[in-house]
Amino acid sequence: MPAQWLELDFNVEDMVDAYPGSAEATARFAPQSGPYAGDRYTEMFAGMKTKFDDTIVLEERGGLIDKMLIEYKTAKSSLGRAIDGNAHERLSFQIMQYLEVATTYTSCSLTVLTNGAFSRYRNKYHVNFHIQADRLSALPWFSMDHLCTREEFSGLARRLASWLFENDT
């Protein structure tokens, strides 16, 4: 199995090099002034990484069936009515980073595992994570699941068990 299939950390420089390229990014996005202006722009993100929490790799006969990137998110409700503020603003960024990472694999999906607070308390995240996933699924390499209930977690376990035992040779 190629080591790349197990990767969780992705260099920002590599993602930029893949698209749009460092020179193009500098030409289009670099600030006009300040410490990272012009040719110093790549220093802003040099050595930085995007990290996912975990991965599950489905492989068959040396071929990648799916690299499932896993992101864990938890929330709470201090008052028992709505999820506390700033619960998961980072997830939207991770979804966008997944878009960049997914293009480097023949098959790559994102599975977001959250706690039950997302389905028990008022919040804007549950519906919007699903809407983002629906809209982005128009891209052929985009596949995302957002799980927060016992039934959704059980469904994932059943899909994985089905894949394991139906493909057992």
Q: Per-residue confidence at 91, pLDDT binned at 50, 70, 90?
A: confident
- Percent of the chain beyond pLDDT 70? 96
The number of residues making up the chain comes to 169
What pLDDT sits at residue 1? 82
pLDDT tens figures, 2-25:
999 999 999 999 999 999 999 999
pLDDT tens figures, 30-58:
999 999 999 999 999 999 999 999 999 99
Question: Which residues, including other chains, have CB under 8 Å from residue 135's CB and lie 6 or more apart?
Answer: none
User: 1 to each of 7, 48, 59, 71, 74, how far by Cα in Å?
Assistant: 12, 26, 8, 22, 32
Going along the chain from its start, the domains and CATH numbers come out as 1-48 (no CATH), 52-166 (3.30.420)
Query: Which is nearest to 92 in space by CA: 115, 124, 57, 119?
Result: 124
Judged against a pLDDT cut of 80, whether residue 89 lies above it is answered with no
Question: Which residues, including other chains, have CB under 8 Å from residue 150's CB and lie 6 or more apart?
Answer: 116
Q: What is the DSSP string of 100-153?
A: HHHTTSSSEEEEEEE-THHHHSB-SHHHHHHHHHHHHTTSTT--EEEE-SHHHH
